[in-house]
Structure 1
Amino acid sequence: MTAPADLTPAERRVWQAFPRGEGVDFRESVDDDPAAGGSWGPERTVRAEVLRALLVGGPTSEGDIAGLKLTGARVSGQLNLMYGTVDHPVRMRSCHFEQAPNLYGARLPVLVLSDSVLPGISAGNLRVDGVLRLSCCRVTGPLRLQGAKTSGAVFLNGARLGPPDAPGTPSNPDAPGGPDPEASEEPVLQLNHAEIGTDVWAVGLVAHGQVRLNGATVGGQVNLNDGELYAPPGDTALHAETLSVGTDLHAMRLHAHGRINLSGARIPRQLNLSYARLSNPEGQALRASSCVIGELWLRDAAPIKGAVNLRRSQLDLLHFPPEVWPERVRIDGLSYRTLAPHLPAERRLPLLEREEDGYLPYAYEQLTAAYRTAGDESAARTVQLAKVRRHRRTLPWYARFWGLLQDATVGYGFRPMRAAGWLLLLLCSGAVAFALHHPHALKPAEAPDFNPVVYTLDLLLPIIDFGQEGAFAPRGGYQWLSYLLIVTGWILATTIAAGASRSLSRQ
């Protein structure tokens, strides 16, 4: 193709370098800020229509690999490659785009826009045979990549998305958290239903608006370490329902002002939120319901501000310190094999009281199973005792009275030594009383020698007969004492039998 006659000197440099894949760098210094590109003159300006002509049908040089390699340029007009097929790599670093490029349905081998400033990107259903690199870009409008497919990774590390002066930014820390709601109606990053061949690398991403990954498929990992996500109060900062990743979702030291929604996600290895700060006081701060996750880590995370929803999720390991849990949780149907760090049951039980749906027997059974997996049978019994005590609150008054009696005597069978203590106390009291005042023998000639200890045992044990109870008959107040021992013995025997039955059923 012959070069157009109206090319400017800057455009001619780009046109001549393209067939050989050579780079053109318009920067005056490596510290040039592309945010100031609106003031760059014609010596650094390239029209978008010239770039389009190069990419769609530009000249080639035999023996060379053609490609666009441009640095520090101002791109005037709109780069429109909608539905176009580009056979050459596109690398435009530290450039300033006056209008949002339209790459909808386009196909490219490689697309690099690192360190550039753009008012937005429209690239739905984009196809990239290699990597899509948007590292350290500043995109003030929506970055639309819904339905995009890449065989390589997507790089968004250090990128800043959304309005540049949104409230709550690090440069404006005294402003209210979150961006202007009117500027955040559309997600600032749309990767929903995208198919990424390897990783989504977004370390240090700052997004003022919603990041949308719902329905996306990532072959490797999603890395949001050190990211900052700002959403309007009560809105969603990360919307990743049914996200499927090949390995991990790392979000260590993530600061999220808004809901993290991972409902239905599939993360076979780690969902790592260690050292994270999650805040959405007006609603749910973390929703990870119906998920299948290998390990969920919140080690050394800040106390969560807002509710946590883990209903019906399946985990192998849950590392969730008690001090991180908020006051409102939903854990109905949550299953996990191992709970870390290993703590006394008394530290874990208050969480089960915070369940928004009230008493959930399954939550106690799951915690019991985790302690038994760890070999801590004592903690497992403590959880089971807390379960029946919590259940007692839901019963009518007469059933609660019987439960209180079982709790006080044998701890519902989970405290068997308590029954032995009661029996020993009653035995000693009765033996002392009857030793000081022997009961009258019914048939003195046939009565055995009186033994106060054995006589008290005969009164206390309803089944065993030592021959003392039928041979002697106390009178007055001692007769009432014998009645009390008999009734107490029956109650103890019944509660012990109930506790033993419960213990055997657990075995």
Structure 2
Amino acid sequence: MEINDLTPAELRVWQAFATGTEVDFREGTEPEGAPERTLRAAVLRTLLLNGPSESGEIAALKVRGARVTGPLDLRYATVDSVIHLTHCRFEHAPDFVGAQLRYLSLRDSEMPGLSVTRARIDGSLRLTRCRFGGAVRVDGAQIAGVLFIDQADITVGDTAQPALQLNQVSVDDDLCAHHLRTRGRIRLDGATVAGSLDLEDAELHNPGGNVIDAEALEVGANVLGRRLRAHGRIDMRGARIPGRFDLLYSRLSNPGGTAMRASSCVIGEVWLRKGPPIEGMLNLRRSQIEHLNLEPEMLPDQVRLLDLTYTSLTPHEPPERRLPMLERDEDTFDPHGYEQLTAAYRRTGDDHAARLVQLAKQRRHRTTLPWYGRLWGHVQDATVGYGFRPMRALGWLLSLLAVGSLAFALQAPPALKADEAPHFNAVFYTLDLLLPVISFGQESAFAPEGGQQALAYVLVLTGWILATTVIAGVTRTVSRQ
């Protein structure tokens, strides 16, 4: 392209390129679409690939407030100059597929879409406050600096297509997307972010569908989502987040479906607090979380926690407020969940709460047994609370001892051998009937008749039941320790 073919606006940009001088078309009074503010994309392409240079100067394309006509096609191009096309309006979606760039900033610009698929950027990619009327594709790109999508607005007409494709992207620094607004799905499958992923104050819409696909996402530090508003399903299966997954004050909504799936993840800390109740199912199955900061108020009606492992649980709440989250997993009885909650209480020194969780575990397990198992479970629960309330056994024993002693004291049973029988003692005779192992020599020496014989059978049977349940409870206690 000859310099004589350039418009006055293009000539200004051409002459400023060699020294990296910025050209700001917003300084004039011309309207946005005026020729004085219009640049052809073909001119910009030629400038970036074969533009002039000056000795001792660093060439750069720095333009503000221009209207760019025609497609800016830099597919698989190698561009050694920094690109600043800010506050611009593009008629066509810029195409940087497979390009090698030093630095690209389209900040505050408006365009129908953008493609940076498989591009390699030695610096940062800045899309701050951009407005996109179509899909933004950064999938497979390698970005050595920061990826800025903060305060951007992305809307696609067909929500079946991703609004923002970041799958397999590699970012060597942070991915900054706070205050991001999207209408459509965000794909982060297999993405790698060396720093933190910032989604604070973002508003993501794809009702009835996936709002974030982030399977096998790897983040080097934190995922920050304070005050995040997600209207759709968040899928983070298999994600690796060594730092904090922060969802304080967030609103997760996908009524009738799964609001968030973070199964099979490895996460340092998960913070779910200060927000409204999650609308939709929460799935944390098979995940490993070092610290779970969870308020019961945020839990939805359906929770999936099968094989979830966590080291600590805050804030400290009584078991009555924590147990419902285990009972909301309706698919199966998960003893592992009760053991995890028990261990969390024991780490804080709250042994009483730990015992209540274990008691709740036995009661939940009872519902899965056949009728005879449930019957025996009710007996153990009523007598000694499955061994977690041993004082009940003492109460039963004292009550039965009092009843038996009184009944036999009013009328002593006849002796089997009157000349050999010891002196009858109603208390020790009742103890002989109640205690299946210990013998005081009373039971074998006297033979009750009639109603006393029936009472003796009841005392013997009750004694065996109490002894069996106490032994079962002691066995469970010893095995836990």
Report the TM-score range of the alignment, normalised by the length of the smaller protein: over 0.9
1:281 to 255, 261, 268: 255
Q: Secondary structure at the match of 1:101?
A: coil
Q: Deviations over 1:31-57 (max 9, x none)?
A: x9xxx94xx210111111111111111
- The answer to whether residue 47 in structure 2 is matched with residue 54 in structure 1 is yes
- The answer to whether residue 207 in structure 2 is matched with residue 215 in structure 1 is no
**Aligned-partner Cα distance in 2 for 1:370–1:450:** 54
**Aligned-partner Cα distance in 1 for 2:28–2:348:** 61
Amino acid at match of 1:183: D
- Offset at residue 440 of structure 1 (A): 3.3
**Aligned-partner Cα distance in 2 for 1:151–1:277:** 32
Q: Deviations over 1:388-436 (max 9, x none)?
A: 2222222221222112111111111121111111101111122222233
Q: Secondary structure at the match of 1:60?
A: coil
- Offset at residue 445 of structure 1 (A): 4.5
- The answer to whether residue 222 in structure 2 is matched with residue 229 in structure 1 is no
**Aligned-partner Cα distance in 2 for 1:462–1:122:** 82
Mark the CA change 1:300 to 1:360 in structure 2 (over 3 Å): closer, same or farther: same
Q: Deviations over 1:2-44 (max 9, x none)?
A: 85212111111111111111111111489x9xxx94xx21011
Matches of residues 290-439 of structure 1 in structure 2 within 5 Å? Answer: 290-439=264-413
Q: Could you say which residue in structure 2 is the equivalent of 1:174?
A: none
Q: Is the contact between residue 3 and residue 11 of structure 2 (CA under 8 Å) also seen in structure 1?
A: no
- Offset at residue 234 of structure 1 (A): 2.0
- The answer to whether residue 139 in structure 2 is matched with residue 149 in structure 1 is no
Q: Could you say which residue in structure 2 is the equivalent of 1:202?
A: 177
- Offset at residue 477 of structure 1 (A): 2.1
Matches of residues 35-114 of structure 1 in structure 2 within 5 Å? Answer: 37=32, 40-114=33-107
**Aligned-partner Cα distance in 2 for 1:344–1:29:** 67
**Aligned-partner Cα distance in 1 for 2:115–2:456:** 91
- Offset at residue 347 of structure 1 (A): 1.5
Amino acid at match of 2:270: L
**Aligned-partner Cα distance in 1 for 2:58–2:27:** 27
Q: Could you say which residue in structure 1 is the equivalent of 2:21?
A: 22
| TM, length-normalised to structure 1 | 0.91
Q: Is the contact between residue 307 and residue 334 of structure 2 (CA under 8 Å) also seen in structure 1?
A: no
**Aligned-partner Cα distance in 2 for 1:483–1:263:** 60
Q: Secondary structure at the match of 2:39?
A: strand
Amino acid at match of 1:417: M
Q: Is the contact between residue 459 and residue 482 of structure 1 (CA under 8 Å) also seen in structure 2?
A: yes
Unaligned runs of 5+ in 1: 164-181
1:188 to 150, 156, 163: 163
Q: How many residues align?
A: 481
**Aligned-partner Cα distance in 1 for 2:370–2:172:** 59
**Identity of paired residues, percent?**
57
Q: Secondary structure at the match of 1:20?
A: coil
**Aligned-partner Cα distance in 1 for 2:467–2:95:** 82
- Offset at residue 464 of structure 1 (A): 1.4
Q: Could you say which residue in structure 2 is the equivalent of 1:167?
A: none
Amino acid at match of 2:121: V
Q: Secondary structure at the match of 2:18?
A: helix
Q: Could you say which residue in structure 2 is the equivalent of 1:465?
A: 439
Amino acid at match of 2:4: A
Q: Could you say which residue in structure 1 is the equivalent of 2:153?
A: 160
Q: Could you say which residue in structure 2 is the equivalent of 1:172?
A: none
**Aligned-partner Cα distance in 2 for 1:104–1:471:** 100
Q: Deviations over 1:69-101 (max 9, x none)?
A: 111111111111111111110011111111111
Amino acid at match of 2:353: A
2:222 to 248, 261, 265: 248
**Aligned-partner Cα distance in 2 for 1:367–1:92:** 54
Amino acid at match of 1:69: K
**Aligned-partner Cα distance in 2 for 1:83–1:445:** 114
Moved more, 488-497 or 221-230: 488-497
> Once superposed, which parts of structure 1, at least 4 consecutive aligned residues long, lie more than 6 Å away?
none
RMSD: 1.8
Amino acid at match of 1:506: R
Moved more, 221-230 or 377-386: 377-386
Q: Is the contact between residue 3 and residue 15 of structure 1 (CA under 8 Å) also seen in structure 2?
A: no
- Offset at residue 155 of structure 1 (A): 0.6
Q: Secondary structure at the match of 1:234?
A: strand
Q: Deviations over 1:472-502 (max 9, x none)?
A: 3434323322222122112211222222222
- The answer to whether residue 239 in structure 2 is matched with residue 265 in structure 1 is yes
Mark the CA change 1:344 to 1:452 in structure 2 (over 3 Å): closer, same or farther: same
Q: Deviations over 1:124-157 (max 9, x none)?
A: 1111111111100001111111111111000111
| TM, length-normalised to structure 2 | 0.96
**Aligned-partner Cα distance in 1 for 2:473–2:344:** 23
**Aligned-partner Cα distance in 1 for 2:13–2:412:** 118
Q: Deviations over 1:293-312 (max 9, x none)?
A: 11111011221111111111
**Aligned-partner Cα distance in 2 for 1:304–1:468:** 66
- The answer to whether residue 477 in structure 2 is matched with residue 503 in structure 1 is yes
**Aligned-partner Cα distance in 2 for 1:121–1:356:** 45
- Offset at residue 443 of structure 1 (A): 4.3
Moved more, 471-480 or 79-88: 471-480
**Aligned-partner Cα distance in 1 for 2:445–2:388:** 37
**Aligned-partner Cα distance in 2 for 1:463–1:242:** 60
1:134 to 119, 122, 127: 127
Moved more, 410-419 or 285-294: 410-419
**Aligned-partner Cα distance in 2 for 1:6–1:498:** 95
Q: Could you say which residue in structure 2 is the equivalent of 1:173?
A: none
